[in-house]
Structure 1
Amino acid sequence: MTENSRRAGSAAVAPADEDVAAELLEFLAARTKTTWERDQDLFAVGGMSSLFAMQLVVHLEKTYGLTISGADLMLDNFRTVDAMVRLVRRLGPGAGGTGGE
């Protein structure tokens, strides 16, 4: 699925958790040259800095049409792929968050 097709369908349908997780694992692997597990603490093992966490914020906002701000910017929301999937689900289309349009 391309970024444009995600955006085109984002007004009506939230992406499946498995799709979000797979996309994030691919993004992380490409950027860090490391294979990650969904529940692996990216900060605890030295896989991510706070600067990289901000790159993740931008990636999630652009890819899934989200606005991540305020309390949602806490590191715990970016500590694992599963945490990021929950954030996308919570803020994404149809979730009552600020995502979508």
Structure 2
Amino acid sequence: MGTPNKADVLTAPVVTKELSEFLTANLGQELALDDDYFTLGLVNSLFAMELVTFVERQYAIEVQVDDLDLDNFRTLGRLRDFVLAKTAHRGAAA
């Protein structure tokens, strides 16, 4: 089972930068790692689904129903940690 070459170089700084760029472009402001964009009222349910779709496509992962816990997606830092956890197995398989 092949994975994108990009997955081999995923690091916290790389994922943080990519997610930050996506969020900034779509929410219209830069966010700190712990800014809760749901609590700040920057995200609606439609954007939440767009965020899930972006993460799945960008990192070639499948977000399962059990993964849809809001705590995985509410801040840049938590989202980064979620992506890194979901892709961690790729390095071990190589």
TM class, shorter-length? 0.7 to 0.9
Structure 2 CA distance for partners of 1:26 and 1:9, relative to 1, 3 Å: closer
The reply on whether 1:32 has 2:27 as its aligned counterpart is: yes
> What TM-score do the two structures reach when normalised by structure 1?
0.79
Which consecutive residues of structure 1, in runs of 5 or more, have no partner in the other structure? 1-5, 97-101
Task: Give the RMSD, CA atoms, in angstroms.
Answer: 2.0
| Matched pairs, number | 89
| Identity across the alignment (%) | 34
Structure 1 segments (4+ residues) deviating >6 Å: none
Report how far residue 14 of structure 1 moved: 5.0
Q: RCO higher in 1 or 2 (8 Å CA, sep ≥ 6)? A: 2
Q: Superposed, which structure 2 residues align to 1:49-88 within 5 Å?
A: 49-88=44-83
Unaligned runs of 5+ in 2: none
Q: TM-score, normalised by structure 2?
A: 0.84
Per the alignment, do residues 19 and 28 of structure 1 end up closer, same or farther by CA in structure 2, a change over 3 Å counting?
same
